[in-house]
Structure 1
Amino acid sequence: MDLKISLIPSKSIHTKIILLGFFFLVSLIPQASADVYVPLQEYLGYFDAHGVYTVVGNVKNQNDFAVIPILTISVIDDGKKVSQTLHHVPIPAMTDIPFKLKFPEIQAEEPTLLNAELKYVKTEKNSIPIQIIYDKSLITHDDGHVTGRIENTGTQTVYNPKIFAIVHGYETFILDVAQNIEPIKKIEPGEILNFTIYPDPSVSEPVRFYSCFAPVDTTVIPISVKKNDGDFDFRYDSGAWYSAAKFSDDGTILTMRGYNSYPLDTYANFEFPPISGQEKFDVTINDEPVEFIQSVDEMGQWHVAFNVKPQSQGILKITGFEKGLPPNLSKIPQFIKTNAQWWTTDQISDSEFLEGIDFLFEKQIIFVPQQEIVSESKWTIPQWMKIPVSWWYEEKISDDEFLNMIENLVKRNIIVI
């Protein structure tokens, strides 16, 4: 993977922007040489109506390849440096996608927003085939929300897409970064669906217009927290915000501060790596029990999901974690390995085995650039593949060797899927 580092010019931004200094700083930006950067005029720190310091911005990718930006945002709070690191969603070539971070721990009346450190990893992820329809249906309403339509221009169903946009005001160049709060479960090829984006109610200035609409297929937010003398990494997807994650001393209870500013119900879906796979969780907010669903996905990850009430805030507590840290898990789900054994012993058909291989592409565990999509009826795999597949099942070759083999054979059209 290629790793590069870029710096956003230093500045201090408060709720009120001094325009003279703003334009002076703009003139100093070396944008001509930047390939991944955050434009100064689209990078802002302010206190929302709840008194929570918020940083919004927009990452532009001017490369001819996709990147995964890693942003470190730092704020000086009464002489103390407070930082957060954001692993941004993948940004396709010649595209930009906004971001927003909350700093509830900031207490100073005039905190200083420092240089934003930006580094990125080159990735082969393609952009999702969703386009914003720019016609008369894209309307910014008097109350500040926007409605519009999206179209799936690809050949595959896209699940749980999100639409991001930058919210602009009259006096402030950028007010907020917003997304559709009401979920879009899926959009079929050729389908056109409506979307609605509401500005965060904690933004007090009137909305003038929206820009930089960006459809993405994942907005999960990664978090790393100390647990039993190690790092415990997990993710969440939600219309609410969560911060200040902390485990109890024995590593069995996770607490976070969360709040939903919107006058709408939303959701929270936390994804945790298993330790034993036998965990039984419980969820409370401000020590009151919350109805939730605990499930496990195809990759063996735990999911804890629940609804979040409108305009609510409190301390989220999730109990039931086991002591210690998760073991290193295989990137390949167990069901694919089981399918491999069944296929090599003629217990399932070629197409049934290839459904598992197709799953690896869907989850981007393996990737072939510009792979041609074919119907399932045309999927093929040579019978001699049963020998190396059996080697993998018998652990004579590693998972990575198996994945590299499949990726190479699909690239060469020896396996058609």
Structure 2
Amino acid sequence: MGVHHSFATPSLTVSTGKHVYAYGDFLSITFQVSELTGNPIIVHIIDSSGKASAPINISINKWNSTISSPIPFYKTTYSPGTYHINAEYAGTQSSISFDLVDSGKIAIPTEYKTLAQTWLKGTATDKDYAGLIRELIYFDIINVPGYDFQTAHIIHIPVWFKTNVKWWSDDSITDNEFGFAIQYLINSGFMSV
């Protein structure tokens, strides 16, 4: 006789905060487990081309845990398409997918704010700041139809535009408001980069 032990594999359920994300959104993932084993949840995020992220180890201490990405989706890093989240916990696997779409919303990576602040302080030149704007146009973060990258542009940034840059770098205006201001100024001929 003796004692027989039966060990069931813990269950794992994965869900996302939304089924469709846009640029500027933060990914939110909820993990639900049937028991706490002390093991981390190992996550891989796979893009529409099949490229997988490095393993992401997520420690949990609750049966229901939600995490959010530290940075939002940006065009400079993520392409539109369907992404799959594959998770493994104590021998159990679960997956879910979500779509990333280009909704037209402008989402400017935060490092550009740091660069903008150097321009506001006078550390960077107008030429440096024009290069930053050209990069935003090049990556299609800010859409300026007909912009010609081959043409050498005479740089003209209105002095008063620094107020808009300050508001944006202080989060007083959104990426959308700031981006549309740049679009308007370039399309109207008030700014040349």
With structure 2 as the length reference, what TM-score do the two structures score?
0.51
* 2:190 paired with 1:408: no
Correspondence 1:90-105 to 2 at 5 A: none
- Cα distance, 1:384 vs. partner? 2.3
Q: Is the counterpart of residue 339 in structure 1 residue 121 in structure 2?
A: no
Cα 1:227/1:391, change in 2 over 3 Å = same
| Mapped pair 1:231 → 2:24 | no
- The answer as to 2:45 corresponding to 1:269 is no
Contact 2:74 2:107 survives alignment (8 Å)? no
> 1:367 Cα shift?
1.3
Query: Which amino acid in the other structure matches residue 269 of structure 1?
Result: K
Identity of aligned residues (%): 23
Deviations 1:220-244 (A, max 9, x none): xxxxxx943633558xxxxxxxxxx
How far does residue 369 in structure 1 lie from its aligned partner after superposition?
2.2
Residue 331 of structure 1 contacts residue 365 of structure 1 at CA under 8 Å; is this kept in 2? yes
- Is the CA contact 1:368–1:407 (under 8 Å) kept in the aligned structure 2? yes
1:108-257 matched pairs, under 5 angstroms: 227-228=14-15, 230-231=17-18, 249=32, 253=43
Residue aligned with 1:378, SS? coil
* Higher normalized strand content (fraction of residues): 1
Query: 1: distance between equivalents of 2:75 and 2:177?
Result: 21
The equivalent of 2:124 in structure 1 is: 348
- Corresponding residue for 1:387? 163
* 2:142 corresponds to which of 366, 380, 384: 366
Which structure carries more relative contact order (alpha carbon 8 Å, separation 6+)? 2
Between the aligned partners of 2:15 and 2:152, the Cα distance in structure 1 is 47
**1:64-106 alpha-carbon deviations (Å, 9 max, x no partner):** xxxxxxxxxxxxxxxxxxxxxxxxxxxxxxxxxxxxxxxxxxx
| Alignment of structure 1 residues 293-308 onto 2, 5 Å | 299=76
AA of the residue aligned to 2:157: I
**Contact preservation (8 Å) 2:153, 2:192:** no
Distance in 2 separating the partners of 1:339 and 1:368: 21
Is the Cα–Cα contact under 8 Å of residues 44 and 52 in structure 2 kept in the other structure? no
Alignment match, 1:398:
174
Give the distance between the partners of 2:69 and 2:16, measured in 1 at CA: 18
What is the one-letter code of the residue matched to 2:140? Q
CA gap of 1:255–1:268, structure 2 versus 1, over 3 A, is closer
SS in 2 for 1:410: helix
Q: How many residues align?
A: 132
Equivalent-residue separation in structure 2 for 1:319 and 1:375 (angstroms): 52
Alignment correspondent of 1:126: none
- Change in 2 beyond 3 A, CA 1:269/1:391: same
Query: 1:368 Cα deviation (Å)?
Result: 2.2
What do residues 358-377 of structure 1 show as CA deviations (whole Å, max 9, x unaligned)? 22212222212223445456
Contact 2:15–2:31 under 8 Å retained in 1? no
Secondary structure, in 3 states, of the residue corresponding to 2:68?
coil
**1:255, CA displacement in angstroms?**
8.7
**Contact 2:168 2:174 (C-alpha < 8 Å) held by counterparts:** yes
CA contact (8 A) 2:144 2:187 kept: yes
Tell me the equivalent position of 2:38: none
Shift of the 252–344 alpha-carbon distance from structure 1 to 2, 3 Å rule, reads: same
2: distance between equivalents of 1:360 and 1:227? 35
Query: Which secondary structure state, in structure 2, belongs to the residue aligned with residue 409 of structure 1?
Result: helix
Task: Give secondary structure in 1 for the equivalent of 2:145.
Answer: coil
CA contact (8 A) 1:254 1:318 kept: yes
- Using the alignment, how far apart are the partners of 1:332 and 1:414 within structure 2? 22
Contact 1:379–1:416 (CA<8 Å) still a contact in 2? yes
Q: Distance in 2 between matches of 1:255 and 1:396?
A: 33
TM-score (structure 1 length as normaliser): 0.26
Q: Aligned partners of 1:255 and 1:405: how far apart in 2?
A: 35
Tell me how far 1:379 sits from its aligned partner. 3.2
Q: Cα distance 1:255–1:365, how it changes in 2: closer, same or farther (>3 A)? A: closer
Q: Which letter maps to 2:109?
A: P
Matched, 1:378 2:154: yes
Amino acid at match of 2:15: N
